[in-house]
Amino acid sequence: MFEFNSFEFDYLTSTADFNYQGPTGIRFTEKVEFTPPQHPISRSQQVLLTRALFLALIAIGTSYYKASPTKNIKLYFNIDQSQADFFIRIYQEGLGQFAFENHLTRDDLVEFKPIQGAPNDINHQPKYDGVIAKVDNYLSDQDLGLPLVLLSGGKDSLLTAEKLHRQNIAFKSVYISNNKADLPDIVSSYGKPLVIRRYVDKEALKKAGGLNGHIPVTLINESLALIQAILADSPKIYLGLGREGEEPNAFIGDFPVNHQWSKNPSTQAALKEYVKTYVTPDIKIESLLESKSELEIAKEFVELCWDKFGNKFSSCNVANYRQGAKNSSLKWCGKCPKCANSFLLFAPFLPLKKQPFGHDLFLDPDLTDTFKGLLGVDDFIKPLECVATYDELRWAYHHKLPEYGNLPFKID
């Protein structure tokens, strides 16, 4: 049995603990540090925090549930049918890639059911004495009430921030970091960001052993951004999400496997409805790019952002976000599916000499199979990464600028 035991929030430091127990009895605690306000928050904000923390408890739980997946769970909180249905989606569709990677089926994953009479109430008013400790980084009074923008080093979030900047819309950037990793310099392009730090319980996971695999990271990040928005009294959270995640990477029977499930428009619609119904209708989650394809986003990024960020941004996880990586300056490895995907997307709009890779990736024999997967050739599986659709990438290849070379295989 996997247990969602509790969440705790320290108002002195704006630090949350999320507590779980696996089937073998191993306990997991994930700690998350938020940027606190300078002054005590209101009672109504405290109630909203408990509701948002509960959503984060469910989302973060995927990190620990996956070690020993089971159909049996214990949840010490009341939930209704609509909540149960949304949580099922998180733990089945959101863990679809994990199931695929570990040869599981949908029937192996948990199914939530409505719970009444649980010992905990997420609508209670927490105990709080109105005292805030001194920490290194505060939300200033000038930050309160501003929209938040989830900012990383990738093109989508940077394009979102630049569009708001050009519209003279004031906002505060938020960066989510694992442990004490460096902040990429680029996330300070629009002022000092608020920082949320996740401390994944790696020691307990190592002790537990078991399975590993992909989790719905974007959904986790959104749940954490919601908590930060409540602390900052923010009315809106801006995301850099386009029309992504609609094309599955693979199938388990008739069960679609989608690396970008969190970014899927239907998932985002369900999350927005959950926040409206079970947290607050007063904080909106919005993307300025939601109607745009990855190809359209790439084109607009070249037009609006390349001169400003062309040599500073990166969408490559391999070069920047592996454990122990120094990522104050972002880089590209030039060998992974994300690099190949970006190279393809920019090829119709960007001269080859401006590409950040230093050479023509189409001519790299080590990437031939990767491009086959991206372009849907010879039954190669679509890479389990955040990449564009087959049709977009084929269009990009057929409309690449003349100086680019040719791949050594036919593309329809």
CB 159 within 8 A of CB 304: yes
Burial category of 12 from C-beta neighbours within 10 Å (exposed 0-12, middle 13-18, buried 19 and up): middle
Looking at the fold, whether 225 and 361 belong to one and the same domain comes out as no
Res 248: pLDDT: 83
Task: Express each pLDDT in 214-273 by its tens digit.
Answer: 999 999 999 999 999 999 999 999 999 998 877 888 888 878 888 999 999 999 999 999
Looking at the fold, whether 131 and 155 belong to one and the same domain comes out as yes
Phi, psi of 219 (to 5 degrees): -65, -40
CB 258 within 8 A of CB 249: yes
Residue 196 lies in a domain: yes
Looking at the fold, whether 219 and 85 belong to one and the same domain comes out as yes
Looking at the fold, whether 47 and 154 belong to one and the same domain comes out as yes
| Continuous segment of H or E residues that includes residue 315 | none
Res 142: pLDDT: 85
More confident residue, 140 or 96: 96
More confident residue, 158 or 381: 158
Q: How does 205-220 read in b/e, with b if 16+ C-beta sit within 10 Å?
A: beebebbebbbbbbbb
Task: State the residue range of the domain holding 8.
Answer: 2-287
* Count of domains for the chain: 2
CB 139 within 8 A of CB 219: no
CB 215 within 8 A of CB 223: no
Q: Decide which of 261, 287, 313 is a domain's last residue.
A: 287
- Is it the case that residue 134 has pLDDT exceeding 90? no
Structure-token pair, residue 261: 């499930």
Residue 410 lies in a domain: no
Looking at the fold, whether 254 and 318 belong to one and the same domain comes out as no
Res 84: pLDDT: 97
**Whole-number Å distance between alpha carbons of 251 and 97:** 9
Burial category of 79 from C-beta neighbours within 10 Å (exposed 0-12, middle 13-18, buried 19 and up): buried
Q: Decide which of 252, 287, 322 is a domain's last residue.
A: 287
Lowest-confidence segment of 66-75, 256-265, 316-325 by average pLDDT: 316-325
DSSP-assigned letters across all residues of 182-193? PPPGGGGBTBSP
Looking at the fold, whether 189 and 336 belong to one and the same domain comes out as no
CB 255 within 8 A of CB 105: yes
Looking at the fold, whether 340 and 242 belong to one and the same domain comes out as no
Coil/strand/helix, residue 310: coil
Residue 404 lies in a domain: no
Residue 204 lies in a domain: yes
Report the pLDDT averaged over residues 163-178: 95
Residue 406 lies in a domain: no
CA distances from 380 to 14, 249, 368 (A): 47, 10, 11
Alpha helix ranges (H) inside 243-389: 265-274, 294-309, 317-320, 337-346, 368-375
Query: How would residue 130 be classed by pLDDT, with cut points 50, 70 and 90?
Result: low
Residue 409 lies in a domain: no
Looking at the fold, whether 120 and 187 belong to one and the same domain comes out as yes
Q: Decide which of 238, 262, 287 is a domain's last residue.
A: 287
Residue 268 lies in a domain: yes
Looking at the fold, whether 339 and 388 belong to one and the same domain comes out as yes
Res 41: pLDDT: 84
284 beta partners: 236
Query: How would residue 317 be classed by pLDDT, with cut points 50, 70 and 90?
Result: confident
Coil/strand/helix, residue 205: helix
